[in-house]
Amino acid sequence: MDRKTPRGACRKYGIMSDLKAYRPNVAAVIVAPGYPKEKRIFVAERSDIPGVWQFPQGGIDKGESSKEALFRELEEEIGTDRVEVIARYPEWIAYDFPKHVAKKMRPYKGQKQRYYLVRLKKSAVINLDTKHPEFCDYKFVELEHLFDDIAHFKKPVYEQVIQYFTSEGYL
């Protein structure tokens, strides 16, 4: 970033060694099956924090590519990996966990994420009743309502990713 990044906001790193304290993670910005005519975005409400919505995301296992993790995490979190990859954010983005989250996530102080823009296939069936349910509800929202219920510490990252996909003509 050209400007100074506020504490707790997203960061871009050029050297991977800068990211050792950050958990490798993948996240999916899912657009509805009617994309590109319809540009509504999937968000899900966390089971453990009522009223907080987010994109599906999860850790990248050792030896796993970010794309492999994307499909695995979607299957684990929303019960389907029936998506088509449209684009990938070009860089890793890192953010710090709030203190109350960081305590649970030691030794990591945050996450470094690889974002994918994906379209849900018409044949996909979302099922939140997975082996380890992380979400209790989901919805597709218009861009202007995307940030209404997102966790405060994730908003700068989401804004950066959505701005990129919009500027590239995807959203």
What is the CATH classification number for the domain harbouring 146? 3.90.79.10
| Domain-embedded: residue 5 | no
| Domain-embedded: residue 6 | no
Q: Whole-angstrom Cα distance, residue 149 to residue 43?
A: 9
Three-state secondary structure call for residue 69: helix
Residues 6+ apart with CB under 8 A from 157: 9, 10, 93, 95, 113
- Summarised one tens digit per residue, pLDDT across range 6-34 is 334 454 444 344 556 899 999 999 999 99
Domain boundaries, position 33 = 11-122+132-167
Q: Quote the number of domains for the chain.
A: 1
Helices (H), 34-142: 66-78, 99-102
pLDDT of residue 20: 65
pLDDT of residue 42: 98
| Domain-embedded: residue 2 | no
Yes or no: say if 136 and 77 are a contact pair by the CB < 8 Å rule: no
| Domain-embedded: residue 4 | no
- Summarised one tens digit per residue, pLDDT across range 115-150 is 999 999 999 999 999 999 999 999 999 999 999 999
Q: Whole-angstrom Cα distance, residue 166 to residue 171?
A: 4
| Domain-embedded: residue 1 | no
